[in-house]
Amino acid sequence: MIKVINKYLAICGIVAPLLFSLKVLIIGFYHPNYNHITQYMSELGAINAPYAIFNNIVLAVLGILITLFSYVLYNELNEKKTISMRIGISLIILSGLSFFLIGFFPCDPDCINFSTIGIIHSYLSNTAQLPLIIAPLFLLSTFKGIKKWQNVYVFSILTVLLGFVFFLIYKSYFFEDYTGLLQRISFGIPLLWIEIIGIKTYTSNFFQFN
């Protein structure tokens, strides 16, 4: 029974980034005059957005999926019971919970946040993104110490470096004409990491799960 549960929890890590990507593409397609290059993703769920309810439901589900996935990843890496590993998993949980809460705290119109809900949204966006960028850093020693996880070690380093660089570029607002694109890249890098780690968690235990 536990193996079956772990199987589905691993799938959560695979589904979450795909769900996020489909949400942005589909709702962005139907949102009138929406521009993926210049506009924030959060504008799809803004208070005045036509499909906000669908966008925000998906964000809440995304948060649940990431949080559930963190449990099976913790179990998978638990043979190396280090403080850094626990910090890394805790950061993933923080990200998941933040995504969940974003579903209930949308941004203000055009994401010019002035209301209490809008300001909370701004903080939650950061706690959804930045911890997920940093989390692999705290898991590096664990990946290196477990043979079957060593092949994601370099990928995790690149995730942290590229994720942090694009996060800084996006937050610098030096390229305001490309705000939407930079936001997608800076969110996409750590979500791609979740995707790869989710696939790794599932496939490394495939025969155990079956």
Q: What is the pLDDT of residues 134-176, one digit of tens each?
A: 999 999 999 999 888 999 999 999 999 999 999 999 999 788 8
Asked if residues 15 and 63 have their Cβ atoms less than 8 Å apart, the reply is no
> What is the spatial distance between Cα 56 and Cα 104, in angstroms, rounded to a whole number?
7
Residue (of 94, 19, 92, 82) closest to 54 by Cα position: 19
* Structural domains of the chain, count: 1
| pLDDT for the residue 210 | 45
> What is the spatial distance between Cα 191 and Cα 185, in angstroms, rounded to a whole number?
10
Range of the domain at 191: 2-209
Q: Is the pLDDT reported for residue 201 higher than 70?
A: yes
Q: What percent of the chain has pLDDT over 90?
A: 82
Q: pLDDT tens across 70-110, in order?
A: 999 999 898 767 999 999 999 999 999 999 999 999 999 98
Q: Is the pLDDT reported for residue 207 higher than 60?
A: no
